[in-house]
Chains A and B, each alone.
Chain A
């Protein structure tokens, strides 16, 4: 034992010298607690900052993470400009601005809320400290509200400036009005999301909240990505002026906050503006009271129950076992997955895609955009003039989806678990990779392929175009092997914060997309110039040869070391 570690320990006093509590009033203590919690949750909100082992802390990373999204939101706000300028009527402009703000900030709040409100490890860190759960909830809400409001303001800077400069005298009043309404809307978003979680806890039981949070985060992220693709197209096909003057518009939250803007800027107390303002103020006050005061007790119960949930014995399953165990035992799959290591990789991928929150949040939103594109182009095949082109485009997206998904299966928060494969006597990680690849093909690619086929056959009634999807299927199979060709692949063994991995991922994504789209273009040309059968046959032959060589390359690779 070193001299420093003397048994006297820190501030050793004499016998029976148990020190008195610190000389601070209860109010001072509570203030200290509130400040500490706010600082803590603000840091956790931006918790993406990490340092590699034995490397000094890089605070620049934190600044980038903190201000990067604001710049992103400010740039994203440029898409509001078409609604800001005349001749778009103010009532339409104001509602549309709040539609986009609500979607973006609402989804952002929903994603952050789940992570920040119910943290797995928090019970062991905070629940035994002398802090009321209400303080913890309010500190979290304050951070969530602050960050959501900042994002909302950043999103609206361009639109706000455009409206204030182009709408004539009195338009300057739009700036303070809109800053207030956007901030109020951020409060509405956060309180509504917190209230929704509390109601879920009350209705479905606190122990199920965890799975509900993950599901809601995944859905929110997917809706955000898919909505971003679909919204601009929908806007073109809707008569916004007619839509914004409908009486039922007042049922939608953006109309309330838009009404507030309208009232302050025009100073005209129209029924729409008055009703909107009253609802914006009233509903926000109501949801805030319910979420932060009336149902605050539910939060405390939920946090304690989540702690009990982790402490209680695991739920027993019926004799049939979990679905992850039953699926590979189905006759066809049993044959397809006869290699036990492949089956291991398959089951691991299946479990991660179904259960691991970080994997779900990474994979599903990323592939959502390609799925949306595939579906949109499948719909487009109903138009005769673009039918063949649309079918060919679907091929490209079918090739991109498994490639992107397999590439993302390298990463996991549970990356330390992959050490198992490093010390196990495996000559190569190839069987594990092939299992992961098969899981992606079966669970992700095949459903998308079937969906596109059904859409083209039933909705678009384009049965001849279905043949065009065959190269897509071949491409999907081959492209799903590419991630293991570019660099050694050990499933779920890397953290995504490794910049090398991220940069490589971006380059690979671009290359994968380029190849897929190239095949898609050739398929279209082959269809147009009547050499499609030759092309499909050639593609199949190339695919068989490529698969043979790909397998050899992948099998000859050792297991990537843990560095």
Chain B
């Protein structure tokens, strides 16, 4: 469903993503991990057409990123890390606007929105009575997630989707993406919360300094590394293996 071929992005001479190649089949949930500044968000933004690759390309749901950008965008649902939305619109205005951008008429959109608000425990009144600027962080996140799924995309990219969601909403959301994957949708899930990735994802991809450093299922990766948890594998691969010693040394500075 997603084929990434030597995807590279260079900012001011400095590579943010370097020759990344991946093959993600239909129905797979891929945990996309990396430390801060590793190039995760840049990769996702390239896959959604928000950033132009410096070189390389990707084919998503049969659409080439370089030659059929609109086709790619139609096939992708994206939750950006920023969770940005127009604060001066009501939730309903925003969702109807997004639905129209994907060619859904108002009746179709409203029916779909009703299904989502029931699932996410929102009410129609919440969507119509207040502007998005007055929503709580969790409610805003729910609206952004709904906006990414309204058009039934075959490929869904999540960049820190759980940020701001309460525990119940997070559990429901994780169950939802697992069900969507069973239906044949491909999910790329970028997050810093490793135990969620470990439990939800079929496969884990770790990048560091823009380069692919690890790729495999959580079980196979743990088996290959002597049964240690994913978190420890991650810290070893991304230069964090001395963290405990460093933390202890640093904590001693508080003693004086």
Interface residues of A (CB under 8 A from B): 1-2, 4-19, 21-22, 24, 28-29, 32-33, 35-37, 39-40, 43-44, 46-57, 121-132, 304, 307-308, 311-313
A130, B184: Cβ atoms closer than 8 Å: no
Q: List, in ascending order, chain B residues with CB within 8 A of A13's CB.
A: 183
Q: Taking A36-B96, A128-B50 as contacts, is the C-beta distance between A22 and B102 under 8 angstroms?
A: yes
In the bound complex, CA of A9 to CA of B115 (Å): 8
- CB-CB nearest in chain A for B14: A313
Q: List, in ascending order, chain B residues with CB within 8 A of A29's CB.
A: 102-103
- CB-CB nearest in chain A for B148: A128
Q: List, in ascending order, chain B residues with CB within 8 A of A39's CB.
A: 93, 97
Q: List, in ascending order, chain B residues with CB within 8 A of A125's CB.
A: 84-86
B101, A36: Cβ atoms closer than 8 Å: yes
Q: List, in ascending order, chain A residues with CB within 8 A of B221's CB.
A: none
B137 to A: closest C-beta gap in Å? 12
CB contact between A35 and one of B49, B100, B149, B176 (< 8 Å): that residue: B100
Q: List, in ascending order, chain A residues with CB within 8 A of B115's CB.
A: 10-11
Stretch at the interface among B68-76, B201-209, B238-246, B247-255: B68-76
- CB-CB nearest in chain B for A7: B175
A22, B14: Cβ atoms closer than 8 Å: no
In the bound complex, CA of A48 to CA of B88 (Å): 8
Across the A-B interface, how many residue pairs have beta carbons closer than 8 Å?
183
B37 to A: closest C-beta gap in Å? 8
CB contact between B154 and one of A18, A46, A57 (< 8 Å): that residue: A18
B48 within 8 Å of A (CB atoms):
yes
B119, A10: Cβ atoms closer than 8 Å: yes
A4, B119: Cβ atoms closer than 8 Å: yes
In the bound complex, CA of A47 to CA of B89 (Å): 8
B211 within 8 Å of A (CB atoms):
no
Interface residues of B (CB under 8 A from A): 11-12, 14, 16, 27, 41-42, 45, 48-52, 70-71, 73-74, 76, 78, 80, 82, 84-90, 93, 96-98, 100-105, 108, 112, 115-116, 118-121, 128-131, 133-134, 149, 151-152, 154, 168-169, 171-172, 175-176, 178-180, 182-185
Q: List, in ascending order, chain A residues with CB within 8 A of B78's CB.
A: 128
A22, B103: Cβ atoms closer than 8 Å: yes
- CB-CB nearest in chain B for A129: B101
CB contact between B133 and one of A1, A24, A50 (< 8 Å): that residue: A50
B180, A22: Cβ atoms closer than 8 Å: no
| A-B contact sample (14 more), CB < 8 A, given A17-B184, A312-B12 | A2-B172, A9-B180, A17-B183, A21-B103, A22-B102, A28-B103, A37-B101, A47-B88, A50-B133, A51-B130, A55-B134, A121-B84, A124-B84, A128-B50
Q: Taking A1-B168, A1-B171, A304-B51 as contacts, is the C-beta distance between A22 and B85 under 8 angstroms?
A: no
In the bound complex, CA of A12 to CA of B104 (Å): 19
Q: List, in ascending order, chain B residues with CB within 8 A of A56's CB.
A: 129-130
In the bound complex, CA of A18 to CA of B62 (Å): 14
Q: List, in ascending order, chain B residues with CB within 8 A of A24's CB.
A: 103, 105
A2, B121: Cβ atoms closer than 8 Å: yes
- CB-CB nearest in chain B for A55: B134
Q: List, in ascending order, chain B residues with CB within 8 A of A11's CB.
A: 112, 115, 152
Q: Output the residue of B98, B100, B168 with the most chain A CB within 10 A.
A: B100
A33, B101: Cβ atoms closer than 8 Å: yes
In the bound complex, CA of A56 to CA of B134 (Å): 9
A386 to B: closest C-beta gap in Å? 49
A10 to B: closest C-beta gap in Å? 4
- Can you identify 24 A-B contacts, CB atoms within 8 angstroms? A1-B168, A2-B168, A4-B121, A9-B119, A9-B176, A10-B116, A10-B149, A18-B154, A18-B184, A24-B105, A32-B103, A32-B104, A35-B100, A36-B96, A36-B100, A51-B134, A126-B101, A129-B102, A130-B70, A130-B74, A304-B51, A311-B11, A311-B16, A313-B14
